[in-house]
Amino acid sequence: MLQKSRCLRNLIPSSSFCSLPKIAAFYASRAASSVQEAFEPSTYSGSDDENGDIDWDNLGFGIKQTDYMYITKSSNDGIFEQGQINRFGNIELNPSAGVLNYGQGLFEGTKAFRREDGRLFLFRPDQNAIRMQFGADRMCMPSPSIDQFVDAVKQTALANRRWIPPPGKGSLYIRPLLIGSGPILGLAPAPEYTFLVFASPVGNYFKEGLSSLNLYIEDEFHRATRGGVGGVKSITNYSPVLKALTRAKSRGFSDVLYLDSVYKKNLEEATSCNIFVVKENIISTPPTNGTILPGVTRKTVIDIASNHGYQVEECTVPVEELLDADEVFCTGTAVGVLPVGSITYQGKRVDYKTESQLVSRDLYSTLVGLQSGLLEDKKGWFLEIE
């Protein structure tokens, strides 16, 4: 049974993921730029109707080159210059760039949506900005201000507005990147940083669409460890899990669910999403204690569930408690809110209900209602872009 006594009673504050220290001035001296744009600044002049022959019904989740991207770089005092929209294209990096040699890089993911009346909205981009600032501090990198980050995302969405799918057909996935672009040979922070934002129209992340997921619990490889960077969106978190993910998918599973690296028995998160376990009226999810990414959708779902009368608890969830759960579901920017149909652990498969009155469907319906404008956004989660 889920043990409430082990659960943390204080949920994440609604205003931020955690108490961020005041980010000090970064690195007094910077070298000259090593990133050269392979394109010229451009002003967007397209319209919503110029979307070509896009098959909105079969988008999937893959890169589809759009028209424009946003780019800026840090100046000598670690402050990012005013960025500008450029034609989408390749960039050039010095072979000794910090991101190429030491993996000094972060990324974020957010979405733009189109409503029935044609208005365009972003979903909580300020939370992505806060998370990038927190990650940048951990990785010894300067970061754009919250306003600069949100403005960059907004500009990118507007410049590529013809790529934002019709209502119900998908969204424009927006990928902000912060990389150490300056040349460095010895292990140290890069002398220069580049912040860029690109976008791609997407449909469902998993091939199952909105159907339930089949997860495999990995007990050989671990996604993160205490004291590492599992709690920030570092680029270094992702390629190490490819082996486990590829192996699981070759066996027919949707994704991998990882255990903690110390006791090897407590749930952490899946490769691409956070995990929630439901027992009666209690919804439990592992706490963001440094090894788990504090997802924006996770944070939103916690708030929605609490408003719906569920008892939401951040607590240690031993793998054994999955055997007694009524329902399991995942959340993430890319995946949204999806129920889990089965979990396989050490050769034993546990099936969960995926029909009738699902908690995850209830939460998903509310999230989509807010996204589409059918429900009132009382908390200001959606930012309209002109």
Between the CA atoms of 135, 137, 139 and 142, what dihedral angle is there, to the nearest 10 degrees? 100
Active site residues: 233
Q: Would you tell me the crossing angle of helices 125-138 and 296-307 to the nearest 10 degrees?
A: 130
